């Protein structure tokens, strides 16, 4: 256990009693996904949840820094997924995004939109991102960062925003996380069936939109035609159709 990270014992106890699985909840930590990697390396034996009110070294795709100040909620859910492989990894991300989207709608009564592949937007600003990592088969770490109410987030990152207009009560955060884990468990159990993909498509902001997609140093411009059954983006450029498994839509959709 990291000795230099202070626990949030009150919230940890409240959530662990509701979930009946091990929970670590920190006042601040370097990264919940880094902590997850340490636990998995120590031969973890059951599902596990790590939560923090702040991250000092949060990161997203391609190790990009992820602003993780107080007012957000940052977590990593760890479980085994024996059926995960290179062909269905995109569907796992879609299942996790769908679970988060659904929980926000159920608990906070806000219908966010999904930006392919792993971001949620509220009022044209990014309020959540998901990062899935696998350091030892069959264990999977599902990292989620959600801006509930970070007072100065827009000053730090203009394209980022908050889900809420005021800080929520601790009990609301505990209840929200309990519901999120329930929804995650259901979506992850059925992530290859296509149920989550159907839900995901309903709230995808970029369907039919003209966008720019960045894949490493390469950029493509075209119209988003669909998300295929593997979770890949189907992009029609002026010359041909591309099936894109990984990348970033770097221009915001016009909605």
Confirm whether 183 is domain-assigned.
Answer: yes
Confirm whether 1 is domain-assigned.
Answer: no
Q: What is the pLDDT of residue 65?
A: 64
Same domain for 169 and 48? yes
Same domain for 116 and 224? no
Query: For residue 233, what is the domain's CATH number?
Result: 2.30.30
Q: What is the pLDDT of residue 251?
A: 63
Q: What is the pLDDT of residue 174?
A: 98
Confirm whether 3 is domain-assigned.
Answer: no
Same domain for 50 and 96? yes
Q: What is the pLDDT of residue 253?
A: 44
Confirm whether 190 is domain-assigned.
Answer: yes
How many domains does one find in the chain?
Answer: 2
Same domain for 197 and 125? yes
pTM of the model: 0.93
Tens digit of each residue's pLDDT, the chain (255 residues): 444 689 999 999 999 999 989 999 999 999 999 999 999 999 898 999 999 999 998 887 766 767 778 899 999 999 999 999 989 999 999 999 999 999 999 999 999 999 999 999 999 999 999 999 998 889 999 999 999 999 888 788 889 999 999 999 999 999 999 999 999 999 999 999 989 999 999 999 989 999 999 988 899 999 999 999 999 999 999 999 999 999 999 865 443
Parent domain of 135 = 9-202
Q: What is the pLDDT of residue 43?
A: 84
Three state DSSP letters for the chain: CCCCCCECHHHHHHHHHHHCCCEEEECCECCHHHHHHHHHHCCCCCCEEEEECCECCCECHHHCECCCCECEEEEEEEEECCCCCCCCHHHHHHHHHHHHHHHHHHHHCCCCEEECCCEEEECCEEEEEEEEEEEECCEEEEEEEEECCCCCHHHHCCCECCCCCCCCCHHHHHHHHHHHHHHHHHHHHCCCCCHHHHHHHHCECCCCCEEEEEECCEEEEEEEEEECCCCCEEEECCCCEEEECCCEECCCCCC
| Domain end residue (candidates: 202, 224, 241) | 202
Query: For residue 86, what is the domain's CATH number?
Result: 3.30.930.10
Q: What is the pLDDT of residue 66?
A: 74
Q: What is the pLDDT of residue 255?
A: 37
Same domain for 196 and 233? no
Same domain for 27 and 45? yes
Same domain for 127 and 77? yes
Same domain for 197 and 74? yes
Same domain for 223 and 100? no
Same domain for 68 and 193? yes
């Amino acid at each position: 256990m990291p000795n230099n990270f202070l626990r949030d014992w009150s919230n940890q106890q409240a959530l662990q009693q509701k979930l009946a699985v091990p929970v670590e909840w920190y006042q601040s930590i370097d990264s919940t996904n880094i902590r997850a990697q340490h636990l998995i390396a120590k031969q973890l034996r059951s599902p596990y949840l790590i939560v923090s009110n702040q991250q000092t070294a949060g990161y997203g795709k391609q190790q990009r820094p992820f602003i993780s100040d107080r007012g957000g909620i940052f977590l990593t859910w760890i479980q085994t997924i024996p059926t995960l492989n290179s062909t269905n990894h995109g569907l796992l991300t879609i299942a996790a995004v769908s679970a988060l989207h659904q929980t926000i709608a159920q608990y906070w009564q806000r219908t966010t939109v999904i930006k392919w592949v792993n971001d949620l937007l509220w009022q044209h600003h990014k309020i959540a991102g998901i990062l899935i990592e696998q350091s030892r088969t069959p264990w999977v770490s599902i990292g989620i960062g959600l801006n509930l109410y970070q007072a100065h987030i827009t000053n730090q990152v203009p394209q980022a925003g908050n889900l809420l207009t005021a800080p929520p009560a601790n009990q609301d955060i505990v209840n929200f996380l309990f519901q999120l884990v329930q929804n995650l468990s259901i979506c992850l159990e059925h992530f290859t069936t296509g149920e989550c993909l159907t839900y995901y498509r309903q709230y995808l902001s970029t369907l039919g939109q003209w966008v720019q997609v960045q894949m490493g140093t390469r950029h493509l411009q075209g119209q988003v035609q669909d998300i295929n059954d593997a979770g890949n983006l189907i992009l029609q450029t002026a010359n041909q159709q591309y099936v894109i498994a990984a990348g970033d839509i770097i221009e915001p959709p016009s909605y």
